[in-house]
Amino acid sequence: MAFFNVKALAVATATSAAALFSTAAQAVEIEYWQYFFDARVQAMETLIENFQEANPDITVKMTHFPYADYRTKVAAAIPAGEGPDVVQLFYGWLNDYVAADLIQPLPADVFPASQIDEEFFPMVQAMKEGDAYWALPTAVRSLALFYNERLLEAAGVEPPTTLDEMIAAAKAMTKRDGAGNLTQVGMTAGMTAQDHHWWREGLIRQFGGEPYVDDYQTVNYNNEAGLEALNFYSSLFTGDDAVSAIGFMDEPQAAFKAGRAGLHIDGSFRIGSLNNTRGLKWGVTELPATADGTRSNYSSYWVNAITTKAEGEKYDAAVKFMQYITSDEAMQIWLDVVGELPAKPSVGLTEENSNDPVFGPFIKGLAYAHTTKFANESGQRQLMVEMVERMTLQGMSAEESLAIAAEAEQKILDEYYNSASN
């Protein structure tokens, strides 16, 4: 990472010097908002400087907020007309912004839908309505299986490629004390982290199901495939030969960082913090396939959109800026600085990127990834957490718990799609 930072800094210094001399008198200023994450802010500063160099008559002012406040602040500011011209939103929020008339579609002449369909990874089509796209991402994220190299080596196993190998490897790395308490888990587990995505879009599909139908408006996992996926998942932490425990070391990523977990499923956004963990030797591989080679993954992303506040020359400037931040060049910078995956195969699937030992498994995962359309992500995640808790804490059968979760999730979806404001 240090290397990339130096590079970014060099580019930044050179371009800010250039910007200093080329400041045009009648510059249009547009405002850009995103949440604060050091690398994201740094990457965006580089992009803005490059953009301003190419467009000396436009200045872009970036504002960022802590993540915890971001959604509320954006939601309060934009309707009040105080907000940005170009804003970064989580893909799951977009429906609400479209319904409330707060963002405008990207112009079809500059962003033709047919061209975007062709150039971007297919999951961005969730942002399309008719012939126009509402928003586009610079980068996307997917899941992969992290492994602790030292623990794998000590147990004498290879990084797993199938689910069966994964269980076998996890068993080999699980350690218990004299009383049978886990002191090291073969694999982390917990729906509170990324496992609910793995279960929904990964396991259910791998066991032959489809988690939702009807454009994610109807729950479809209360069936054979859903039950198999749930049984497989709960076998990780139930029974005498469990390879994991819910809440082991408080949080899955904490257990993995502390070197007390052999395997851990997480998103590409975790790479940075694992790199900063001293003494941890880790590697990453694609999410394990089924015996017949079926793979499935989950991907999510933040999109950039033009708000309805941008009009006239600001709108033109915003369109130009959108064009730049969704360009191949911007995506490569974003990958190098932030570690998030390019949203276009033309950038992501280059020889160098897809064979990268760290980014490669995530980028390959994008090819078979699905994006859940959430109505209320934390609410829907909570139902998965409770589905498992009913089994572990109350001894409920998987069938019954699955049925309750499916019914409760359908209720959230119905309320969301039938409510007056959507």
Partner 1 sequence: MYRNLTIRQKQIVWAWAFLAIPILFYGVIRFYPTGNAILISFQEWNLLGDRTWTGLDNYQKLFADPVFWKVFKNTFVYLLLGTPISLVISFVIAYHLDKTRFMHGFLRMLYFLPFMTSAVAMAWVWRWFYQPVPVGLFNNALASIGIPQFPFLQSTTWALPSVLAPAIWAGLGFQVIIFMAGLRAIPRSYYEAARIDGVSSWTVLWEITLPLLKPTIVFIVVFSSIGFLRIFDHVFNMTTNNPGGPLNSTKPLVLMIYETAFSAFDMGYAAAQTVVLFLVLLVVSLIQLRLLRDS
Q: Which stretch binds partner 1 (CB under 8 A): 7-15, 161-169, 276-284, 375-383?
A: 375-383
Residue with smaller CB distance to partner 1, 260 or 309: 260
Give the helix/strand (H/E) hosting 335: helix 328-337
Distance of CA 180 to the CA centre of its chain: 36
Residue with smaller CB distance to partner 1, 66 or 247: 247
**What part of residues 63-92 is at the interface with partner 1 (CB under 8 A)?**
71-72, 75-76, 78-79
Query: Which DSSP string corresponds to 244-272?
Result: --TTTTSSHHHHHHTT-EEEEEEEGGGHH
Residue with smaller CB distance to partner 1, 190 or 262: 190
Binding of partner 1 at residue 259 (CB under 8 A)?
Answer: no
Whole-number Å distance between alpha carbons of 125 and 369: 13
Alpha helices in 55-121 (DSSP H): 67-77, 94-99, 113-119
Q: Is the Cβ–Cβ distance between 370 and 197 less than 8 Å?
A: no
Binding of partner 1 at residue 250 (CB under 8 A)?
Answer: yes
Binding of partner 1 at residue 265 (CB under 8 A)?
Answer: no
Residue with smaller CB distance to partner 1, 47 or 182: 182
CB atoms within 10 A of CB 315: 19
Binding of partner 1 at residue 393 (CB under 8 A)?
Answer: yes
List Cβ neighbours of 357 (8 Å cut-off, separation of 6 or more).
Answer: 283, 284
Binding of partner 1 at residue 251 (CB under 8 A)?
Answer: yes
Q: Which stretch binds partner 1 (CB under 8 A): 201-209, 273-281, 300-308, 388-396?
A: 388-396
Residue with smaller CB distance to partner 1, 50 or 300: 300
Among 379, 404, 410, 417, binds partner 1 (CB under 8 A): 379
Taking the complex as a whole, how short is the minimal distance between the CB of residue 247 and partner 1, in angstroms? 6
Whole-number Å distance between alpha carbons of 165 and 291: 9
Pairing of strands 212-213, 218-219: antiparallel
Tell me, what amino acid is at 296?
A: S
Query: Which DSSP string corresponds to 14-47?
Result: HHHHHHHH---TT-EEEEEEEE--HHHHHHHHHH
Residue with smaller CB distance to partner 1, 19 or 75: 75
**What part of residues 280-319 is at the interface with partner 1 (CB under 8 A)?**
none
Tell me, what amino acid is at 217?
A: Q
Q: In DSSP terms, which residues pair with 264 in a beta bridge? A: 146
Tell me, what amino acid is at 336?
A: D
Binding of partner 1 at residue 382 (CB under 8 A)?
Answer: yes
Binding of partner 1 at residue 378 (CB under 8 A)?
Answer: yes
Taking the complex as a whole, how short is the minimal distance between the CB of residue 415 and partner 1, in angstroms? 8
Binding of partner 1 at residue 248 (CB under 8 A)?
Answer: yes
Tell me, what amino acid is at 206?
A: Q
**What part of residues 153-212 is at the interface with partner 1 (CB under 8 A)?**
177, 179, 181-183, 190, 192-193
Binding of partner 1 at residue 418 (CB under 8 A)?
Answer: no
Question: For partner 1, how many residues bind (rule: CB under 8 A)?
Answer: 42
Q: Which stretch binds partner 1 (CB under 8 A): 145-153, 268-276, 358-366, 386-394?
A: 386-394
Q: Which stretch binds partner 1 (CB under 8 A): 134-142, 249-257, 293-301, 399-407?
A: 249-257
Among 26, 114, 394, 418, binds partner 1 (CB under 8 A): 394
* Cα torsion angle, 333, 336, 339, 341, sign: positive
Q: What angle do CA 188, 189, 190 make, to 5 degrees?
A: 135
Taking the complex as a whole, how short is the minimal distance between the CB of residue 289 and partner 1, in angstroms? 29
Q: List C-alpha distances in Å: 180 to 155, 190, 246.
A: 19, 20, 15
Q: In DSSP terms, which residues pair with 212 in a beta bridge? A: 219
Q: Which stretch binds partner 1 (CB under 8 A): 234-242, 262-270, 293-301, 372-380?
A: 372-380
Tell me, what amino acid is at 68?
A: A
Give the helix/strand (H/E) hosting 128: strand 128-129
Taking the complex as a whole, how short is the minimal distance between the CB of residue 420 and partner 1, in angstroms? 5
Alpha helices in 22-127 (DSSP H): 38-54, 67-77, 94-99, 113-119
Residues that bind partner 1 (CB under 8 A): 71-72, 75-76, 78-79, 96-97, 99-102, 177, 179, 181-183, 190, 192-193, 245-251, 260, 376, 378-379, 382, 385-386, 389-390, 393-394, 419-422
